[in-house]
């Protein structure tokens, strides 16, 4: 294994973790961190401390896929070229075309009818939710899911109390209605 560079191993780890997240986001959960956070919820006696502990537990339970996607986009092309892996092979494993394009593995924007979207699960959308405030269209771009699917997932998460609907963006200056903003609790 001495002929494998540390950079190649980092590239491979980035590709592997992203593919694992696409297949099953829960497979990358840190169960010991979840157990620690759950214990903190159980031991909290002050209501505010309990709220903070519950929020921390919710964060560790949901694997944030945005950093995994970013690492994939950074390393996939070089790793694929070194290993002779095609964009089509990645596509067969469920990598969305927009991620392949962002990684430099696909050129252009697809067919004249627009890019074909891969199947994007609710867990993949949840994993793409950024820190801070975001819009439906930002989450759609981050996850690769359709607007309708993103709206459904966001609506469900608002109903569950995981996300907060912050209302229209007060700083919107473009044409049309201001987009709704959301954030994690």
Q: Quick one: which of 31, 49, 55 has its CA closest to 163?
A: 55
- Per-residue pLDDT band for 110 (boundaries 50, 70, 90) equals very low
The Cα angle at residue 162 between residues 157 and 165, in degrees rounded to 5: 70
Whether 159 shows a pLDDT value over 60: the answer reads yes
Mean pLDDT of the chain: 83
* Ordered domains of the chain (ranges, CATH): 1-119 (no CATH), 120-185 (1.10.10.10)
Q: How many CB atoms lie within 10 A of CB 44?
A: 15
pLDDT tens profile 37-95: 999 999 999 999 999 999 998 888 877 778 888 899 999 999 999 999 998 899 888 88
Location of structure tokens 């294994």: 1
């Amino acid at each position: 294994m001495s002929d494998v560079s540390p950079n190649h191993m980092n590239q491979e780890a980035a590709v592997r973790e992203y593919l694992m997240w696409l297949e099953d986001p829960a497979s990358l959960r840190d169960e010991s961190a979840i157990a620690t956070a759950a214990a903190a919820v159980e031991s909290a006696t002050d209501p505010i401390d309990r709220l903070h502990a519950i929020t921390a537990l919710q964060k560790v339970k949901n694997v944030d896929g945005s950093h995994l996607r970013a690492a994939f986009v950074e390393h996939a092309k070089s790793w694929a070229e070194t290993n002779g892996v095609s964009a089509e092979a990645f596509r067969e494993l469920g990598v969305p075309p927009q991620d392949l394009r962002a990684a430099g593995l696909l050129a252009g924007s697809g067919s004249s009818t627009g890019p074909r979207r891969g199947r994007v699960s609710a867990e993949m959308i949840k994993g793409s939710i950024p820190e801070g405030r975001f819009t439906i269209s930002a989450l759609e771009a981050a996850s690769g899911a359709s607007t309708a699917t993103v709206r459904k997932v966001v609506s469900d998460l608002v109903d569950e109390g995981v996300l907060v609907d912050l209302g229209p963006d007060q700083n919107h200056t473009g044409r049309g209605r201001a987009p709704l903003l959301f954030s994690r609790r």
